[in-house]
Amino acid sequence: MTVQQAVGPDPYFPANGDPRYRVHRYELALDYRPGPNRLSGTGRINAIAGRSPLAEFVLNLADFKVGRVRVDGRQAHYTHRGGRLRVRPAKPLRAGAAFTVEVHWAGNPKPVNSPWGGLGWEELEDGALVASQPVGAPSWYPCNDRPADKASYQISITTPSAYAVVAGGRLLTRTTKASTTTWVYEQSAPTSSYLVGLAIGKYQTVVLADPGLGGVPQHGHIPAQLLPEFSRDFARQPQMMHVFQQLFGPYPFAEYAVVVTEEALDVPVEAQGLSLFGANHVDGARGSERLVAHELAHQWFGNSVSIADWRHIWLNEGFAKYAEWLWSERSGGRPAHQHAAAAHRLLSSLPQDLRLADPGRKSMFDDRLYERGGLTLHALRCAMGEDDFFRMLRGWAGLHRGGAVSTTTFTAHVNRFASEPLDEVFQAWVYGAALPPLPRLPETRRAG
């Protein structure tokens, strides 16, 4: 497992996260009332100071009322402004010291503002969901909000008993007392703060996994009236899991869940061990199956293998885009090369001023990054050949499982699997802005 801690602030979001320490576990106890949209919580955060003593540190937390902050059981001084909870322990923490922070907060959760609109906690007509990518996690809990700072989580959520709670991870207990139910989930795998997923609503749970196809427990949580369409649209997900395990290696988590809300979502949202879809992604005709593949692929690329900072987002989105093409190819649809040709035609008609290696905050979610990222992987496949390419891909997911990586990490990894250096491919596709020619299939594949 590679754990690559970024050494400074994230260049795209310098106000998010504090590189002077790292968290290894969050324990969150939450109480949520959907009617008044009222959230109260206690967080216990186990962390380790970095290489220098810590006289103070920062957690990210949105506009809640903070009731108490303690460090190692002692009352700490704090200020809370602009989404930053600045904590000063009673005495400085020594370099490398383990410490525990306890925070109590309450209020009406709402999305945090971003260039892409509101992110994080979203109140629905009857329930709530969390869609945090990239900086929405502080909308509902205090965290060191940087993608490379990955931790385990235990989340306890109490809601009125009419509501189901779905979170990424394993459901440990569900306890009903009077009119409320407490759900406790454990996510033991290292998880980035933005990938902590949550959905609260009136859902029916169905089993999707076929033990003969992948062996990974898979569940769907959907409004009852959408069950017939959902059953058709997600019928091939177990097969998809089987194909992706062949291509990428073992599924990196203990289980996988999908949630469909009653409301429309602009795009599906991936979380660790969990994906969230809108009612508009369910049509009974598998009209969004490529998105089902995309979100599932993120469990390997983006969630298990995470990015050191947001400059490297193509390592998430380009890989998930290429997984769409691979699923099409392996399930009787168009081969990846035809998808690549279509993406190349599209990109050739658009501005060519985006560099995958550092697209800039404005262009993090530009469609061109997704398409060019997929094309880059196709170019590597064409240059390396089938066997070396897929060995490389499985090695990438396996060697860096649970860790955080960068574009430089990936280029070095690829060159270890290639029969000759591929620096020119990376220079053209990843570091350059002009669109290179469409990669050519090897002669043997064209002949076949």
Which residues are marked as active site? 295, 370
Torsion of CA 155, 161, 282, 333, to 10 degrees: 40
Residue 192 to residue 395: CA distance in whole angstroms:
21
Q: Residue 278 is encoded by which pair of tokens?
A: 């809108």
Q: Residue 138 is encoded by which pair of tokens?
A: 């502080």
Q: Residue 91 is encoded by which pair of tokens?
A: 């005495």
Nearest to 252 by CA among 401, 403, 405: 401
Give how far Cα 269 sits from Cα of 13, 18, 368, 424, Å: 20, 25, 19, 34
Q: Amino acid identity of 409?
A: T
Q: Is 294 annotated as a binding residue?
A: yes
State residue 21 phi and psi, 5-degree precision: -150, 170
* Radius of gyration in angstroms for the set of CA atoms belonging to the chain, rounded to a whole number: 22
Longest dimension (CA), the chain: 72
> How many C-beta atoms surround the C-beta of residue 440 within 10 A?
12
The secondary structure of 247-294 as a DSSP string is: HH-S-SSS-EEEEE-SS--SS-EEETTEEEE-GGG--SS-TTHHHHHH
Helices 289-297 & 314-330 angle (0-180, nearest 10)? 130
User: What is the number of alpha carbons within 13 Å of residue 345 lying toward its C-beta?
Assistant: 5
Report the DSSP pairing between strands 306-307 and 404-405.
Answer: parallel
> How many C-beta atoms surround the C-beta of residue 334 within 10 A?
12
> How many C-beta atoms surround the C-beta of residue 276 within 10 A?
25
Residue 420 to residue 431: CA distance in whole angstroms:
19
Residue 84 to residue 109: CA distance in whole angstroms:
16
Residues placed in the known binding site: 294, 298, 317
Residues placed in the known binding site for Zn(2+): 294, 298, 317
